[in-house]
Every structure is written in structure tokens, then in C-alpha cells.
Amino acid sequence: MAKHVTNHSRNIPSSVSSKTARYECDYILTTLGVKSHGTITFRRNASNKANFIRISPDVSPVQIKELFFQQCQHRRQSLVISITGSAREYNMKSKLFQIFRQGLLKVTKTTNVWIITNGIITSLTKLFGEIIRTNPDPSHPIHLI
């Protein structure tokens, strides 16, 4: 659960320092028609923060990709995992969950990966959220988009 949300443009991207890069980022945010953006600080771990944006559903995927590349300083991800699922409840057996969790964590440690969800709370996105929340290696964050 989020502790508080700070809504200010300097957090996206937080690592941009040059005026040119800042201008490019502002241009992308304006082009995408970003409705709101900022940083979420999570209650359980105040040092765990995440940037967020809320955009219109009619924005081109190419424009969104440009924003993510800008955020990551033009480093391409080696792997993108897209999670989609139905609203139907799905319960994974404990043993299978552990194997799946270990495999996903191994992949995230060995590659530069984004995990993209539709943002809708389903049993499948909850499953990925639980795995990411319990990431044993905070020095190697998992990017959930």
C-alpha cells in the first residue's frame, strides 16, 4: 500500500541531469499527454520508491516505448515479459509456485528485464506482484511496469 505520492515532473526521469535530456523528457511527457506522474513511496519500506505515469489509452505504443527508453537512458532491455490474464481466480500449487518464483528471480538476476502488466488486479498479476515483493536481492531491482 502506498504511503504517499509526490506529483512533480523532476522525478521522471529521476536520473536526467542535462538540460537537453530534461527538455527531451518534457517533450515526451507532453507528447504522451501524461495526466499525472510522480513517485510512490511504499509503506513497508520507505526506501522502496517507484515512478509512475498515467496516460490516455489512445497513446501510441511507440511513444510509450520512447518514454521508457528515455527513463532508462536509452539502454534497451534484454527481455520484456508481458503479463495478461483473465479475471478468473487461479491458485497455483505451492511446489509449482516455488519453482516458478525461483525461475523468474533467476531470469531477473541474469538479464535486464521489464515485466509489464495491464495494471488490473487479477490472480496472475497478484502472483507476479508477490514474487517481486519478496525479491531477496534489493541491489538488483525487478522493474514491474
> pLDDT tens across 19-47, in order?
665 666 676 677 777 777 777 777 776 66
98/37 same-domain check: no
pLDDT at residue 86, as a whole number: 64
Cβ-proximal residues to 35 (8 Å cutoff; 6+ apart), any chain? 54, 55, 56
67/96 same-domain check: no
Q: DSSP secondary-structure letter at 118?
A: -
* 128, 108 contact by CB (below 8 A): no
61/94 same-domain check: no
* 135, 105 contact by CB (below 8 A): yes
| Position 3 pLDDT exceeds 50 | no
Q: How far apart are CA 32 and CA 95, in angstroms?
A: 43
Q: Maximum distance among all alpha carbons in the chain?
A: 51
The model carries a pTM of: 0.49
Give the count of domains, the chain: 2
Domain boundary among 39, 71, 103: 71
* 67, 32 contact by CB (below 8 A): yes
Q: DSSP secondary-structure letter at 53?
A: E
pLDDT at residue 14, as a whole number: 41
Give me the phi and psi of 93, to 5 degrees please.
-60, 145
63/117 same-domain check: no
Q: Which domain holds residue 18?
A: 1-71
Domain boundary among 29, 48, 71: 71
